[in-house]
A and B are shown apart, each in its own frame.
Chain A
Amino acid sequence: MRPHEFEPGAASDAVIAIEGLTKTYKSGFQALKSVDLTIRRGEIFALLGPNGAGKTTLISVVCGIVNPTSGRVRVNGHDILTDYRAARAQIGLVPQELTTDAFETVWNTVSFSRGLFGKSSNPAHIERVLKDLSLWEKRDNRMMTLSGGMKRRVLIAKALSHEPQVLFLDEPTAGVDVELRQDMWRLVRALRDTGVTIILTTHYIEEAEEMADRVGVISKGEIILVEDKAELMRKLGRKQLTLQLQAALPAVPASLGAYDLQLAAEGTELTYTYDTKAERTGITSLLRDLSEAGIRFRDLRTRQSSLEEIFVGLLKEQA
């Protein structure tokens, strides 16, 4: 068991506890519908959902940028409304939008953030953060002279300037180059190793798949699923068994019509899709029926479906 995996339900492990949170915007639009969610200390949690699902709204409420309509949110036990100072002091937020003070230098804007969060100045820490984000050479540059990717780095540096215990990354890799993406994941893992809890939103499934310990799926303002990533893949995953045939088949034989089979690679590959959740996978009987039909194969492999496929399947169920 890796150190960041915990027994579910152990209350002291909850770093963020969201109960019955709803948000109705002034327009009357209900962006969050009674959301319950617990984030565990030290985990990387990926909040996955299509555009407009309510990811940014959820984060904004927790961080104090949007007023909740009802419900309760606590950060390390501190209520975000009645005990907002203690709650917010622990949180670093990297917003979705690239909003920066154009005329400020990198060093000043990052130092400003630290002061704003009530931490006394610590140039050594700021220096470390800037170096970790490859911003050290740019420290005296004004924000407006930086590229989009560099600005994103600065926003991360600002969020880390006050040594938060919880870091929110709202679509951190949207429109970001490969290099930054890799740097970012390296940093996120390093932060997690120091005990920082990380919540990221994305609609790139690979990101959640690569990075997260747990995944939550939000759709139309509702959390429709929260699961350990590995568990999710195991439980919901559909697997594919691909057989490489010795001789090409013109079509799937009628005698095998009961199975979900597809022919590919000019008839030399037969793919069987099955559900790992099912009581029986049907593999045994398929192999028997294949041999009865006189179909022989040279090799076989299995492939687990990606989160993306799981995700699309889930959203279809919702619709």
Chain B
Amino acid sequence: MNWLAVRSIYLFEMNRWRRTIVQSIVSPVISTSLYFVVFGAAIGSAISAIDGVAYGAYIVPGLLMLSLLTQSISNASFGIYFPRFSGTIYEILSAPVSPFEIVLGYVGAAATKSILLGLIILATAALFVPIRIDHPFVMVLFLVLTAATFSLFGFVIGLWADGFEKLQLVPLLIVTPLTFLGGSFYSIGMLPPFWRTVSLFNPVVYLVSGFRWSFFGRADVSVGLSLGMTFLFLALCLAAVTAMFRTGYRLKA
């Protein structure tokens, strides 16, 4: 293992994050806080509790997931897309590093950023709504797994994209809708049976459900299934990255 290279890429990416602290931390924290203000403090009191959890608190895990997914994807995809776009990728390709080390550096940094951001948002949420975490270990497990998985997914998008539009496309057209429809703001048990079944094809449902269970002990689907789906998605992303590197896809002519 070329640990020094992994460290170099990781620190390079973390540095980039520090330089753009406003876009990368302040703005997601503010926009998420607005949800807490609106749903938690303002209209949340007019909505009845779900599964015995006050609505303002009920939506916290889902909103955390939403930022976790979008930030992981955008961070990781940009991290690898930009060197491809600017040409500085030549140095990474010519260095004595394995694909695994490259992925570890980039995805590790992207996941770290998302986790930190998630924790900051969680702390912010606690200012507006009463939060309890019944299963902190499982909560951290979901946080880390989701950050890693979707950073990996973002990395795949960053390798695949051949323009800035495509970089925005997947988060905007797929991930955000899936998150909103994935039970972030409601329990899928509240849906008519047909739509409940349709929802089960939405991978985000499993993430939100499992994550919410770690907070309040209530879930739409079993926690084991949630965890299993998360690992499945992680495995799919790993397979995609491996295949891309093996063929030099969009990296090497």
- In the complex, chain A residues whose CB is within 8 Å of the CB of B197: none
Q: Does B174 make an interface contact (CB < 8 A)? A: no
- Judge whether A84 and B96 touch: CB under 8 Å: yes
| A93 CA / B7 CA spacing, docked (Å) | 21
Q: Does A25 make an interface contact (CB < 8 A)? A: yes
| A209 CA / B103 CA spacing, docked (Å) | 44
- In the complex, chain B residues whose CB is within 8 Å of the CB of A65: 90, 93-94, 252
Of B8-16, B25-33, B214-222, the one contacting chain A is B8-16
Q: Does B91 make an interface contact (CB < 8 A)? A: yes
| A71 CA / B12 CA spacing, docked (Å) | 35
Interface of chain B, main secondary structure: helix
| A66 CA / B252 CA spacing, docked (Å) | 5
- In the complex, chain B residues whose CB is within 8 Å of the CB of A104: 15
- Chain A stretch 112-131: residues in CB contact (< 8 A) with chain B: 112-113, 115-120
Q: Does A63 make an interface contact (CB < 8 A)? A: yes
- In the complex, chain A residues whose CB is within 8 Å of the CB of B94: 63-65, 88, 91, 93
Q: How many chain-B residues does the 8 Å CB contact rule pick out? A: 25
Q: Does A101 make an interface contact (CB < 8 A)? A: yes
Distance to closest chain B CB from A62 (angstroms): 9
Interface string of B228-253 (1 = CB under 8 A from A): 00000000000000000000100011
- Judge whether A100 and B93 touch: CB under 8 Å: no
Residues of A participating in the B interface, judged by any CB pair closer than 8 Å: 25-26, 60, 63-67, 84-89, 91, 93, 95, 97, 99-104, 108, 112-113, 115-120, 158
Using A67-B252, A85-B2, A103-B19 as known contacts, list a sample of 19 further A-B pairs with CB atoms less than 8 Å apart, ordered by residue number in A.
A60-B253, A64-B93, A65-B90, A65-B252, A87-B96, A88-B94, A89-B96, A93-B90, A95-B90, A97-B87, A99-B86, A99-B87, A103-B16, A104-B15, A113-B91, A116-B5, A116-B97, A117-B5, A118-B5
Residues of B participating in the A interface, judged by any CB pair closer than 8 Å: 2, 4-5, 7-9, 12, 15-16, 19, 86-88, 90-98, 248, 252-253
The 8 A-B pairs with the shortest beta carbon distances in the complex, nearest first, are A115-B8, A99-B87, A85-B96, A88-B96, A63-B94, A89-B96, A118-B2, A116-B95
